[in-house]
Structure 1
Amino acid sequence: MIVRGARVLFALLAIAAPAHAIIDDALDVIRLSKEIGEEVLSSWDIIGKPFNVTGGVELPLIRRREREVLARLAQVTRAIKRLELGIEKTSTIAMLIAKAGGRGARLELRLHEMADLLARVSAADRQMREYVRLQKALERSTLEDFAEWCVSHDQGALPGLLERVHSLVVPPHTHLLGRSILQLVLDDLQEEHPDLCELQLSPHQLIYDMYNTISLTEIKGYAMMQFSWMLLRIYGKGNFTQEASLTRQRYADRSAKTAAAARDALVMARRDVYRCDPPIHKEGETYAQVTRLLQGYIENEVDMNSDQTCRENCGYYTLTQNHGCFKDQFCSNQAACTGRIIDCQYIDSDMWVCPASPSSKRRYEWIEYENGRTLGRVSSCNRGTTKVDSWWKWTLTHCSYCFCLCEEAVGVSERTFSLREVLADIQKNKVVTGVRLLKVDRVFHLQISEGTLGERGAIVPGNWVPVQKFDPSDPGFTNGVDYHTLSYERRAIDLDELDSPAGHVLTGVRFSMIGAHLHFEIKATPFNYTTGKLSPSRSQWISNDNTEGAEKPRSRLDLYKPDIPTRSHVPLPVDSTHDQYVEFVNTDLEADAAQSTVPFIDIQPVQPMKGAALASGAGLVHRGARGSGGFVGVKLFTYDYSRHVRAAAPPAPQDDADEFNPIVN
C-alpha cells in the first residue's frame, strides 16, 4: 500500500507541476483564457475581410496574411509560455510513467492516461512554437499538414486528445466510466495519505494545481485549433466560420464543466499542511526540548526537611525542596535539585544508578533496584554504576531514598515561551507564507516567513522574519506579559486549528495566556482577491477561547506511558483534534526513568511551496502514539480557492456569418 501510494503521489506531482509557475507569474488560467480568447477574436478580424478573387490571389498576399496570423499566434504562445517558466517538461512525465508501473488501482491507471494525454498536447504545443519561430523557412505544406492535424476528426488528433482529457475529469457516463479523476485523487489523498506533510502541499492546493494544469492544456488546444482554422482559411481550404464557432462553443462547455468538477473536489479537500517525522531526528535542526520542567530525581528523605529527620515516608513529600546533603551520602555524587521537589514515591531501598554525562540534560541513564525493577533502558554504563543504599539512623528510623520529580530553577531549565506578536508587514502588502517554532537563547519563539501578495492570490516569496530575541531575566520583561515560563501548575498548551473568515488571509501569529494555558492565536486581514490589496485597518485576532471551565470544556490529550518520541520506530501521525490541550509531563518511569520532558517541540518549518502559497490559517497540533511523548508542531491552512474557480467563455464575434470568399487555387 505504501509503495502504491508513493507512485500515486509521484503522478500527482507530475501532473500538477505547471501550477507552481501559475502562482509565481501572477497569472491564472481565467485571465489567460480571456486574453487568448480576445487575441483569437482579433486575429479572425485580420482575415475576416473578403478577398477579391477575380483573376486569383497573388502569393505575396497569402504569405502576408499567413505572417500576420502567425505573428498573432506567437503572441499567444508567449502568454502561455509565461505560465511554464521553470516547469519540468517531458522528463517529469517519463519519471511518472517509470514510477507508476504498468499495474495498479483505477486511480493509477487514469493518472497514467492523463499524464500521457497532457504530454501529447504539450508536444504539439512545442511543435507549434517551433513552426512559428521558423515560419519564414517553412513550406506552406508543412503548416497546412499541422493545421489539418489540429482540427482532424481522427481520435489521435488534437480534438480527440482534448476530449479524452475532458472525459477523465467529467466522465460522460459515470455508471460506465466511474468518477472524475479529481474525486479519485481526493479520495486517495484524504483516506490513504493522511500525512501529506513531506509534499508541503495541501490536498486542496494539489487539486487546484491539477485543475489549472488541465485548464492550461485546454487553452493550448483551443489556441492551436483556432489558428489552424485561420491558416486553412487563408490557404483556401474553406470558410470555416461555423467550425471555428463550434470549436469555441465546445471549449466553453468543457471549461465550464471542468470548473464545476474542480469546485466540487476543492470544497471537500483538506487544506492543512504540516510536517511529519524527518528521516533522521536531529536536535536543534528538527526538534527542540523543554528541559528539566519535571525530571526524575533520587533524594533521601533526610535531605527534604529542615530538621534532617526520617520520621515520614516518601509519599509525605508531595511538594518540598532540597535542604542540604546529610553526611555526604549519594547526594554528594549528583547535582542537587535547585527548584521544587514534587510527588515523591518509595520504590525500593537499594539500587544501582548509572549517572548521565555532565553535559547531558539527563541526570541518569538508568536505575536498577534490588527488587528487580528497572527504570530506563539498562545497558552498559560509560561512567560506571553507583550503588545507592538506604540506611538507618541511630534513632532507629529508616532513611529511605525516594524517587521524586524535580522542577529545576528557571535559570537551569529551558521552558520559557515568548508572548510577543509575530506579524507580517501588512503595510507593504505582505502576508504570512510559513510558520515554525524554534528555540533561541533558551526561549521558544514563533517565527514566520512572509511574501508579497499580488493579484488573484499570487505570492512573491520573501524571507523568514528575524526573531525578536530577548532575555527574560533582563529588566523590563514580565512573566505573563512578555513571556510565559512553564511550571508544574501552568504547563498546558492549547491545540487549536484556526482559520480566517472568507476573504481574509493570514498575517500574524502569537502566543497568549488564557488561565494556566499557553494559547495560540492568528491574525487575519481582509483582501481584494482581484487586486491583491490588503486592508490593514480591518485586521482581527482570531482564537478559540474555550477553557476547561466552559459548558463544553476543552478535552485533554493524555500521554500514556510516554517515551522519548525520537525512539519511535514508526512515523508519528497527528493524534490531536481542534479544541484540545496537552500538558508537558515527564517521560515514563519504566521507559526513561522520567528523565525527559515531553512532548518535544517540532521546529521544522511549515512553508507550502517554499513560500509561494497563500495561507489563510494556522494551528498547533500534536503528533504521537500510545507509548510516545510525541511532538507539538505548527500547521498551516492554504487558502480556499474554490470560490474563485470558474470558467470564462471566450468572446464571440459580433457576426459569425461574415462573408468570406475563399482563395481560388
Structure 2
Amino acid sequence: MRLYFLLVISTVTPLLVTPLSILEVLDKTSSVLKLLESAWEFVNNDLGIVEISDRKRERMIFSKIDNINMQLVDMNAKINGQGMTSRNLFVTIQTVTNFQDDGINMLLRKKTYIPEELEVQLELNDLRIKHLFIENYYQRMEKYVIDLEDYKNSTLIDFIDGVVSNYPNSAISLVEAVNRQVTESKFLRMLLTQFNLTNSDYPCKERRSAQQAFYNFFGEILLINTKSHVLIEVAYIIKHLYGQGNFTKRISDDNKQFRANMNNIITTTRPYMMQASLELWRCDPKEHIPDETYIEFTNFLHGYILNKANLDGRGQCHEECNIFSYIRNTEVNVKCNDDNRWCNSQLPCPKIVNCQFIDSAMTVCESRMPNTKRRYEYVELIEKNRTLGKKKSCRAGDEFSLATYRDWVVFKCSYCFCLCDEGAKYFSDRYINLRTVMATTSDNRVVTGVRFVKHNRILHLQVQEGRLVENGEIDRSTVRWVPVENYKIVDKHIFNGQDYHTLSWEQRGFELHDVMVEEGFVVTGVKFKSIDSRIYLEVLKTPFNFTSGKLETESYFKENPRSQANHTFSKELKLIHPDVPTTNGTNTNRSTNRYVQFINTDYYKDAGQTTVPFFDAQPVESAEPVPLSGIGIYHKGRSGSGGFIAPRIFTYNFATHLQPFKEKR
C-alpha cells in the first residue's frame, strides 16, 4: 500500500519545481486523478491492508511507477531546459523556504519594477502565506508516507485529522480561501491594471509578457488546488486504511468540488488573461557596448563647416548661410577662396544641407575621418564663448582658427555650419537589409525572438527560431538564431532598393509600428520594406494547428498598417536637441505609432557629429520560448537624447485556448 502513496506523492511534487503553463497543469492533473482513482480502488477493495508480497505484482507496480517517473523526467527537462541527473523514484523533501521562483513569488518580486498598490501587495503576500502552509502540509505528508515505519499510527492519524478538519488553517480551508481570493473581480482587476501600466518594466526585467505572468501565476494556483486535492484524498485513503471509516461519499463529493473549483478558476480568470498585454521588450543594459548592445549608422550625417565663398557656385559671398539649404557636390565651388588651409584640409562633401550662421570666429579641432567617424572633435565659438561638442586636447596640426573676412569690402565671407550627407566611399554604414528573414518552416520552426545585428555594414533584423510542437509549445533543444544572409553591397547582382536600402537625406524615415497576426497564425518571418522615404516592417505569418503544432505549407505577409496609401499621415516623432544615446541616463520613454527620421546630434552637445537614433542590439526573447503573435518596432529614449530604435515581440495568446477542465479517458 505504501507504494501507491509514494506513487501519488512523487507524481505531484515535481510539478512545483517551476511555474507551469495552465495547459500543462491541466494535462498532468488529469493523470494524477487517474492515479488517485486507482489508489482508492486498491485500498477500497481491501487489497492494500498488508504489505504487498507477490513479487510479480510488485514488479508490475514498480514498472508503472518507473514509467510515470520517466514521464515526469521528460516534463521536468522540458520545463527547466535541462535533464535530471538521477532516476530516483522518490523526490527529496525540500523545506518551504526553497520555493523562491513559483508564480506567486514571481509576482511579488515585481514590486521592484512597477509601482504597486498596497492592497495588491497585501493580497499577494496573503496568498503566499496560504501557499506555504499548504506546501508544509504536503511535505509533512510526504515524509510520513516515505518513512512510515518510523511513526506510530496515531501520529499519522492526528496529522490527517488536521488536514481534513474544518479549522481555518486546515488544508481544506486554506485551498478554499485561496480560490475565493483569486477569483474575486476586484483582485483580478487590480492585478491586471498593475501589469498593464505603460511604465511597467516587469516584462523586460523578467523576460515575460504580462499575460505570461498571469498565465504562470494561475497555473500555480491550479497546482495548489491539485496538490491540495491529492493531499486530502490521500488523507481519506489513510483514514480508511486504518479503520477510521468509509469515505467513499466524501471522496466522491471532493472530486466533484475539485473539478468545479478548477473550472471556476479557468472561466473567471480567462477574460483577464485575454486583456493582459502580450508585449515583451528589453530594458537598457548595464553598460552600452558597441555592436553588442547597440548599433549605429556611421558617417552618414555630420556637422560640416565651410565658407560661403565655397558654397556659392560663383565663389561669391553675396548670400546668407541659410540660403544654402541643399547643395550637391557638382554645385559646390571647387576653389578654396579663404586665406588659410581649412578648405583643402577637409574631405569633400557630396551633399550639403541646412546651412546656418553660427559665429564670426571659431576654433575647430578637426578629427581624422573616416577612422574616427567624426569630422570634428569640437568647435569653440570665440564671440559666443560656447563650445560645440566636448572640448578636450587637440592633436598638433588638427586645430584651425576660422574668422569672417571681407570680399570686395562690402560682403562678409562668413563660415557656415551645415550638415554633410556623406558618401559611401567614406565607409558609411547606412544600409538596411530588405530581404525576407524567416524561420525554417519546412522543419516546423517558428520565430521565437528577434534582434538587430550588423553584418557586412548592413543592418539586419535577425530572427530566433524553434520547432513548434503540440499545444503551442516550443522544443527548447531546437531554439537557435538563424544566421543572417552573407552578402555585400558590392557583390554582383546585389542592388539598392531590391536587396538593401541606402539611407540618404531624402530617404531616412523609419516607421514605429506593431504588426500583429490573426488568431490561428504564428509569426514565421520578418521583412523590411522601403516605401517612398521610409522603412516599414512586415511580418510573415503561417496558419497552424494548435493541438498538433503542425504548420500549414502556405505563408503570407502581414503588411504594416502604415504601409498602405495613408502612410503619409503618420505623425513624426521629433528628436529635440538629441545627444548621443549612450550618455548617462535611463531611456524610459517608449514611443510607437509614429515615424522617426535619422538626424544629427545637437550642435552644442556633440557638434552634430553622430547620427541618431541608434539601434538596440539586445536580443528580445522570452525566458520560456514561445511562438509569437506579433513583432513591433518602437523608439525608446528620454528628453534630450537620440534614443534607440528597438524591436519588441508579442507572445502567443494562449488564453484563447483555455477550456473547462476535462479528464483524460
**TM-score computed with the length of structure 1 as normaliser:** 0.83
CA 1:89/1:284 → structure 2, altered by over 3 Å: closer, same or farther? Answer: farther
Report if the CA contact (8 A) 1:21-1:84 is conserved. no
Return the match for 1:467 from 467, 484, 488.
484
Structure 1 residue 600 corresponds to structure 2 residue 620: no
Structure 1 residue 349 corresponds to structure 2 residue 360: yes
Deviations 1:217-240 (A, max 9, x none): 211111222232223222221111
- Residue 24 of structure 2 corresponds to which residue in structure 1? 28
Return the match for 1:631 from 641, 644, 647.
644
Deviations 1:627-647 (A, max 9, x none): 222110100001112122233
- Residue 336 of structure 2 corresponds to which residue in structure 1? 326
- Residue 296 of structure 1 corresponds to which residue in structure 2? 303
Report if the CA contact (8 A) 2:302-2:608 is conserved. yes
Return the match for 2:504 from 455, 478, 487.
487
Q: Which amino acid in structure 2 is aligned with residue 243 of structure 1?
A: R
| Pairwise CA distance, 1:68 | 10
| Pairwise CA distance, 1:439 | 1.3
- Aligned counterparts of 1:408 and 1:194: Cα–Cα separation in 2: 40
CA 1:548/1:641 → structure 2, altered by over 3 Å: closer, same or farther? Answer: closer
Return the match for 2:442 from 427, 446, 450.
427
| Pairwise CA distance, 1:471 | 1.0
Q: Which amino acid in structure 2 is aligned with residue 107 of structure 1?
A: V
Q: Secondary structure at the match of 1:365?
A: strand
- Aligned counterparts of 2:559 and 2:16: Cα–Cα separation in 1: 36
- Aligned counterparts of 2:513 and 2:655: Cα–Cα separation in 1: 24
- Residue 510 of structure 1 corresponds to which residue in structure 2? 527
- Aligned counterparts of 2:236 and 2:59: Cα–Cα separation in 1: 15
CA 1:106/1:545 → structure 2, altered by over 3 Å: closer, same or farther? Answer: closer
Report if the CA contact (8 A) 1:292-1:406 is conserved. no
**TM-score computed with the length of structure 2 as normaliser:** 0.83
- Aligned counterparts of 2:411 and 2:574: Cα–Cα separation in 1: 39
| Pairwise CA distance, 1:215 | 0.8
Q: Secondary structure at the match of 1:354?
A: strand
| Structure-to-structure mapping, 1:645-664, within 5 angstroms | 645-649=658-662
| Structure-to-structure mapping, 1:608-623, within 5 angstroms | 608-609=622-623, 612-623=625-636
| Structure-to-structure mapping, 1:262-411, within 5 angstroms | 262-305=269-312, 307-320=314-327, 321=329, 322-324=332-334, 326=336, 329-331=340-342, 334-356=345-367, 359-372=371-384, 374=386, 376-383=388-395, 385-393=399-407, 397-411=411-425
CA 1:220/1:62 → structure 2, altered by over 3 Å: closer, same or farther? Answer: farther
Structure 1 residue 249 corresponds to structure 2 residue 265: no
Q: Which amino acid in structure 1 is aligned with residue 192 of structure 2?
A: L
Report if the CA contact (8 A) 2:303-2:607 is conserved. yes
| Pairwise CA distance, 1:94 | 6.0
Report if the CA contact (8 A) 2:19-2:217 is conserved. no
CA 1:307/1:588 → structure 2, altered by over 3 Å: closer, same or farther? Answer: same
Q: Secondary structure at the match of 1:550?
A: helix
- Residue 527 of structure 1 corresponds to which residue in structure 2? 544
- Aligned counterparts of 1:155 and 1:400: Cα–Cα separation in 2: 87
- Aligned counterparts of 1:617 and 1:58: Cα–Cα separation in 2: 58
Deviations 1:602-648 (A, max 9, x none): 11110111x62232110100112332221101000011121222331
Report if the CA contact (8 A) 2:336-2:344 is conserved. no
| Pairwise CA distance, 1:589 | 2.2
After TM superposition, the structure 1 stretch with the greater mean CA deviation from structure 2, 119-128 or 281-290, is 119-128
- Residue 218 of structure 1 corresponds to which residue in structure 2? 225
Q: Secondary structure at the match of 1:566?
A: coil
Q: Which amino acid in structure 2 is aligned with residue 626 of structure 1?
A: S
Aligned length: 617
| Pairwise CA distance, 1:18 | 5.5
| Pairwise CA distance, 1:129 | 4.1
- Aligned counterparts of 1:83 and 1:130: Cα–Cα separation in 2: 24
Return the match for 2:179 from 157, 160, 166.
166
Q: Secondary structure at the match of 2:489?
A: coil
Q: Secondary structure at the match of 1:372?
A: coil
- Aligned counterparts of 2:66 and 2:234: Cα–Cα separation in 1: 11
Deviations 1:78-106 (A, max 9, x none): 877866667798446469699789x9812
After TM superposition, the structure 1 stretch with the greater mean CA deviation from structure 2, 130-139 or 479-488, is 130-139
Higher RCO (C-alpha 8 Å, min separation 6):
1
Two-structure CA RMSD over aligned residues (Å): 3.5
Report if the CA contact (8 A) 1:295-1:594 is conserved. yes
- Residue 194 of structure 2 corresponds to which residue in structure 1? 188
Deviations 1:155-201 (A, max 9, x none): 22221221222122024xx7xxxx22x43322222237433322211
- Aligned counterparts of 2:465 and 2:305: Cα–Cα separation in 1: 48
Runs (5+) with no aligned partner, structure 1: 1-16, 52-56, 653-665
- Residue 152 of structure 1 corresponds to which residue in structure 2? 165
- Residue 557 of structure 2 corresponds to which residue in structure 1? 541
Q: Which amino acid in structure 2 is aligned with residue 347 of structure 1?
A: I
- Aligned counterparts of 1:423 and 1:532: Cα–Cα separation in 2: 18
| Pairwise CA distance, 1:135 | 5.3
After TM superposition, the structure 1 stretch with the greater mean CA deviation from structure 2, 420-429 or 113-122, is 113-122
CA 1:339/1:130 → structure 2, altered by over 3 Å: closer, same or farther? Answer: farther
- Residue 458 of structure 1 corresponds to which residue in structure 2? 473
Report if the CA contact (8 A) 1:453-1:532 is conserved. yes
